[in-house]
Amino acid sequence: MGDWQTLKAACENCNRCRLASTRHHVVFGVGNPDADIMFVGEGPGEQEDLRGEPFVGPAGLLLDDMLSIIDLNRKTNCYIANIVKCRPPKNRDPEDDEQDCCIGFLQEQISLVRPKILVCLGRIAAQKLIDPYFRITREHGKWILRDNTWIGATYHPSALLRDVNKRPEAFDDLISIREKLREVNARV
Ligand code: URA
């Protein structure tokens, strides 16, 4: 737990990029640090910035519903974080240099959780963690094995709020995530 406290304190005191000057809270992460599965979004929105917890606004409510379909819950059996820990003004995409300043915190979180499965929520996370040319519409729901961790992506819940036509595909991704969890846990 010592490592977590040091990491969280470093993150909360971070001034490496311009996002520090407009934040109310650093949004570090939430969940079970021993979880088998970790979800990564792009960055805090307004509600997250005000409350200091990832995915607590409208997209977060949908994410919680999605997780519950496959028996996951932020309080018990998964860990949730973002590529950048401070809110980009007006919810714009985080810039490359902001992501580069912040990615070390996420890499350390991943090293501490050591998830068996890592799911990118949306294009920004997938392009940072899987492939800079990742195309979410074409490549969501596919798995790659990297350093003993299965990594995949699904639509960002905000995209599912904007476009309900994407929801059936996102549902298929959820089922695939549940299958992958069963598979990795059957192997131990
Ligand atoms: N969108 C994200 O990518 N992350 C959050 O924490 C909230 C909304």
Q: Six-digit token pair at 142?
A: 């596919």
| CA of 185 relative to ligand 1 center, distance in Å | 28
Q: Is 127 touching ligand 1 by the criterion CB < 6 Å?
A: no
Q: Six-digit token pair at 9?
A: 């304190």
| CA of 3 relative to ligand 1 center, distance in Å | 24
| CA of 50 relative to ligand 1 center, distance in Å | 13
How far apart (Å, rounded) are the C-alpha atoms in residues 24 and 41?
19
Which residue type, as a one-letter code, is found at position 114? Answer: R
Residue 168 CB contacts under 8 Å (≥ 6 apart), including other chains: none
Q: Is 49 touching ligand 1 by the criterion CB < 6 Å?
A: no
| CA of 108 relative to ligand 1 center, distance in Å | 19
SS3 at position 139 = helix
For the chain, 188 residues long, give each residue's pLDDT as a single digit of tens.
569 999 999 999 999 999 999 999 999 999 999 999 999 999 999 999 999 999 999 999 999 999 999 999 999 999 999 999 999 999 999 999 999 999 999 999 999 999 999 999 999 999 999 999 999 999 999 999 999 999 999 999 999 999 999 999 999 999 999 999 999 999 65
Number of CB atoms found within 10 A of residue 172's CB? 13
Q: Is 82 touching ligand 1 by the criterion CB < 6 Å?
A: yes
pTM of the full structure: 0.97
Locate the ligand 1 atom nearest the alpha carbon of residue 121 and give its number: 3
Roughly how many angstroms between the first and final C-alpha of the chain, as a whole number? Answer: 25
How do residues 103-130 score in pLDDT, each as one tens digit? 999 999 999 999 999 999 999 999 999 9
Q: Is 41 touching ligand 1 by the criterion CB < 6 Å?
A: yes
How do residues 23-37 score in pLDDT, each as one tens digit? 999 999 999 999 999
Q: Give residue 45's pLDDT.
A: 98
Q: Six-digit token pair at 89?
A: 């003004």
Q: Which domains occur in the chain, in start order?
A: 4-181 (3.40.470.10)
